[in-house]
Amino acid sequence: MINKTFLTAIVFLYSIVLFVGCKKSSSGGTIIPPPVTTPTILKDASSVPVGVGISYDLFKNNTSYAALVKAQFDRVTAEYQMKHGANVKNDGSYDFTKTDDFVSLAQAGGLAIHGHVLAWHQNNNGTYLRSLTGITGSNPVLNPGFENGYTNWFTQVSATPPTAGTISLELTDVQSGTQAAKIVVTTPGPNAYSIQIVSDNFTVTSGSSYRLIFWAKAAANGQSLRAVAQGTTYYAAQDQPLTTTWTLYTFNFTPTENSISIKFHFPNAGTFLIDNLTVGLLSSILDPVQVNSALQNWITTMVTRYKTKVVSWDVANEVVVDGTGDLRTSSNSSGSGGDYFYWADYLGRGYIANAFRWANAADPAAKLFINDYNLESDNRKLDSVIKIINELKAAAVPIHGVGLQMHININTTNAGIDNAFQKLAATGLFVHVSEMDVRINPSNASPFTSTQALLDMQAQKYRYVAESYFRNVPAAQRWGLTVWNLTDADSWIVTGGHTDFPTLFDAGYNKKTAFTEYIKGLQ
């Protein structure tokens, strides 16, 4: 039996504790433990950038979509708009209208931009790239490198006001040889041809297709000249914006006469250098020199245009084949035609290193990434990507990070996720979860109905990826985590024809269980 005196003592002590716990502070308020709160904003929950891959059209035209992106994320990746096929036209010229708008909208929304993608085998303008065939026959252009000055060329700076400029020879900055044409346009004339250089006429076959190949550069990126093939009545022209480095340009034409000349007109102010022209009949075989130049020009133009506006780029994307770890080519990949173009078919393994070098030269401040998928489930592929990284580092190629796409599903093993993070972190590079989504219907069952149990499994997988990232990637190497697409309705998996629910938000912009668990993992 409990002694009454002992019981009284216990009650007394409890009263003291209760009194102390409830006593008021000096300010007169009762001390109440702070409530436990769960963050509701992804970007506020994380010490690293939290990104999302988005649709330009939805971001521009759907206010609910745009508002949710701006509220939850601090970095965006364009799902399509910054790819080759979205910006390069069939003749090789560029149209950056929509991409400029995307960048402006993102900046206005306070969002950092991760550029995607510079060298990939998909989403290219395949029509243009497959037109880069070689040429046959001897070069009919006399003195094509201006080594004999302007012999075999006519030059003109019109006296008609307001035309002002000079035509001279460049003796130092040449593409090859000892001389190049130098045209300085101070004030353009009333006509594009007010300032021009014109080759002697040469013989062609009417109705046959030819290509002009020439090297050129300008004093400032974007300064444009006009290449012309012209006879008595036949006329074909191509306006060509230049870069500040010597670049190979091409111009295809099909004359309707048997005698023409090559002309360069200068309708815009600037300083232009031209060297080493060749004209020949088109062949059916792609020319590696032209393919290399097309890739260099694309990367240089794109990165230069958005210098300081895009903080990082996926430079080389999906360069390794699943299962084998081999370099991706048309012979070991299934896609062909359309927007497919395999750079390695024409440029070999070296195109990867060159892509990084060109991007770094265009914007030394931007961080440059190699990006691939299935690295958490395909060890051979993971090791092959790491081998490429080590080769690039050994060759002093400016590579700064590796992107782990993580298009995963509820059955992806946690051990595989840990392994990928650990191995990639060991490279010493930044590690970026670059395109994450989690499928709940990985077998593409149809019909398929979502269940809460499946959504709970998805949520735990999202959380595990975030927790594993922070556990296995050192703080100095964390570039951030990016999910791919905003809602289930705009997911690339769903718009591609599959029934699934792979994102953090449902079609009505509501937070899913995946959001709740993912934000816990980010903390």
pLDDT band at 38 (very low <50, low <70, confident <90, very high): confident
In percent, the amount of the chain with pLDDT more than 70 equals 93
Q: What is the pLDDT of residue 126?
A: 97
Q: How many CA atoms lie within 13 A of 98 on its CB side?
A: 17
Q: What is the pLDDT of residue 91?
A: 87
The answer to whether 267 and 192 are in contact (CB under 8 A) is: yes
Q: Give the mean model confidence (pLDDT) for residues 75-101.
A: 96
What digits encode the pLDDT tens for the residues 178-232?
999 999 999 999 999 999 999 999 999 999 999 999 999 999 999 999 999 999 9
Which residues, in sequence order, are bridge partners of residue 404?
A: 372, 433
| H-run or E-run covering 31 | none
318, 376, 467, 517: the active-site residue: 318
Q: Which of 118, 55, 51, 33 is nearest to 355 (CA)?
A: 118
User: What is the spatial distance between Cα 412 and Cα 345, in angstroms, rounded to a whole number?
Assistant: 33
The answer to whether 225 and 249 are in contact (CB under 8 A) is: no
Output the pTM of the full model: 0.82
CB contact burial 189-203 (16+ within 10 A = b; e otherwise)? beebbbbbbbbeeee
Q: How many CA atoms lie within 13 A of 398 on its CB side?
A: 18
What digits encode the pLDDT tens for the residues 338-378?
999 999 999 999 999 999 999 999 999 999 999 999 999 99
- Does residue 70 have a pLDDT over 50? yes
79, 170, 376, 435: the active-site residue: 435
Domain 133-284: assigned CATH number: 2.60.120.260
User: What is the spatial distance between Cα 386 and Cα 356, in angstroms, rounded to a whole number?
Assistant: 16
The answer to whether 274 and 76 are in contact (CB under 8 A) is: no
Sorted by where each begins, the domain ranges of the chain are: 42-130+290-522, 133-284
HEC letters along 397-450:
CCCCEEEECCEEECCCCHHHHHHHHHHHHCCCCEEEEEEEEEECCCCCCCCCCC
| 318 is an active site residue | yes
Structure tokens at 264: 């360069």
Q: Where are the alpha helices (DSSP H) in 236-347?
A: 288-305, 343-347
What digits encode the pLDDT tens for the residues 142-152?
999 999 999 99
Write the class of the CATH domain 42-130+290-522.
Answer: alpha beta
User: What is the spatial distance between Cα 383 and Cα 389, in angstroms, rounded to a whole number?
Assistant: 10
| 376 is an active site residue | no
Instruction: Identify residue 160 by its one-letter amino acid code.
Output: T
Query: How many whole angstroms from its chain centre is CA 413?
Result: 29
Q: What is the pLDDT of residue 4?
A: 36
pLDDT band at 32 (very low <50, low <70, confident <90, very high): low
Structure tokens at 363: 């914007």
Residue 320: burial class (beta carbons within 10 Å; 0-12, 13-18, 19+): buried
User: What is the spatial distance between Cα 127 and Cα 133, in angstroms, rounded to a whole number?
Assistant: 12
Q: What is the pLDDT of residue 30?
A: 56
3-class DSSP state of 202: strand
pLDDT band at 27 (very low <50, low <70, confident <90, very high): very low
Look-up of token digits 């006879």: 231
What digits encode the pLDDT tens for the residues 275-301?
999 999 999 899 999 999 999 999 999
